[in-house]
């Protein structure tokens, strides 16, 4: 397996695993995500799209396009790592998090919006919903995404000598 294929596979597997884990905690474990948890998911989705696009480019024998896709996937992993680190800081009271109220999936009439707001669970970004060995889900996302994002960038930018 070439470094480029490995970079694309690493980005895809990392983002799929972390996103799948977050969804499992939400839908199986009943741990509803806060606003910042949702923020961390979007770069994982982007990394999956870039990795898939890079794989398609490799299949069409366009290694330059695949390399760009791999770099973008690696950068997406670093973005979610940064958001995760910011979230950890909010959980640990190192700094203040978002102060605005947000509702996912609001819309429609005033009555519909009100019903959505009243039915939505109140999930605070500054409270740790789950941790293992003193590290929260946001912390694990930050650590894993930072390490794998760095690996993906390194693999996608180094060439054989």
- Summarised one tens digit per residue, pLDDT across range 53-83 is 999 999 999 999 999 999 999 999 999 999 9
| Contact indicator for 16, 77 with CB cutoff of 8 Å | no
Q: What angle do CA 34, 35, 41 make, to 5 degrees?
A: 95
| DSSP 8-state assignment for residue 136 | E
Q: What is the pLDDT of residue 124?
A: 67
Torsional class of 107: left (φ above 0), alpha (ψ -120 to 50), beta (otherwise): left
Using an 8 Å Cβ cutoff, are 143 and 136 in contact? no
Query: Each residue of 19-30: b (16+ CB within 10 Å) or e?
Result: beebeebeeeee
How far apart, in whole angstroms, are the C-alpha atoms of residue 136 and residue 152? 24
Tell me what pLDDT residue 36 has. 85
129 φ, ψ to 5°?
-80, -30
Q: How confident is the model at residue 92 (pLDDT cuts 50, 70, 90)?
A: confident
pLDDT-derived band at 148 (thresholds 50, 70, 90) equals very high
Residue 152 predicted with pLDDT over 70: yes
Kindly state the percentage of the chain with pLDDT values over 70. 83
- Mean predicted confidence (pLDDT) in 4-9: 95
Identify the pLDDT of residue 61.
93
pTM: 0.80
């Amino acid at each position: 397996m070439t470094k480029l294929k490995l970079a694309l596979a690493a980005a895809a597997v990392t983002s799929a695993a972390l996103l799948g884990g977050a969804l499992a905690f939400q839908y199986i474990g009943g741990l509803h995500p806060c606003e910042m948890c949702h923020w961390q998911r979007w770069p994982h989705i982007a990394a999956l799209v870039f990795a898939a696009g890079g794989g398609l480019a490799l299949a069409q024998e366009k290694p330059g396009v695949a390399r760009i896709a791999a770099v973008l996937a690696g950068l997406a992993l670093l973005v979610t790592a940064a958001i995760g680190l910011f979230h950890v800081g909010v959980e640990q009271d190192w700094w203040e998090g978002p102060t605005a109220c947000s509702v996912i999936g609001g819309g429609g009439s005033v009555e519909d919006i009100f019903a959505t707001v009243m039915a939505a669970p109140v999930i605070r970004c500054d409270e740790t919903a789950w941790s293992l060995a003193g590290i929260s889900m946001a912390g694990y996302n930050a650590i894993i995404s930072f390490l794998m994002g760095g690996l993906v960038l390194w693999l996608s930018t180094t060439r054989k000598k």
